[in-house]
Structure 1
């Protein structure tokens, strides 16, 4: 009889964990989407030609004042 009670208790624990499976899947997908977005943003910043990430490679650059306006 004790063995049967142990099995019933284990089944109840398994069922209670199964109730949280959709929440776990949702949180996992959300975490994956956020990590893909963060990685994409980082890649865009690191590989952009106008951005200097390394302090050793930084230098002062003159800003462009011309925005396509024709001067008289």
Structure 2
């Protein structure tokens, strides 16, 4: 992932992965700002204020990654 994922989003991806071991990496080739989860916008956290993504984007990305992982099974 190019944007920086929150720990909660990474843990959600791991939790829903069909594989016994799943590594979640972000910010490998520079930054694309933060991808804050929806609750961060309500709490007005740094990652939400610094994000250029809409509220709910992290959840959408996590669900899509889950679908992709399921298709690899």
Give the structure-2-normalised TM-score.
Answer: 0.28
Higher strand share: 2
Task: Please give the TM-score of this superposition, normalised by the length of structure 1.
Answer: 0.28
More helix by share: 1
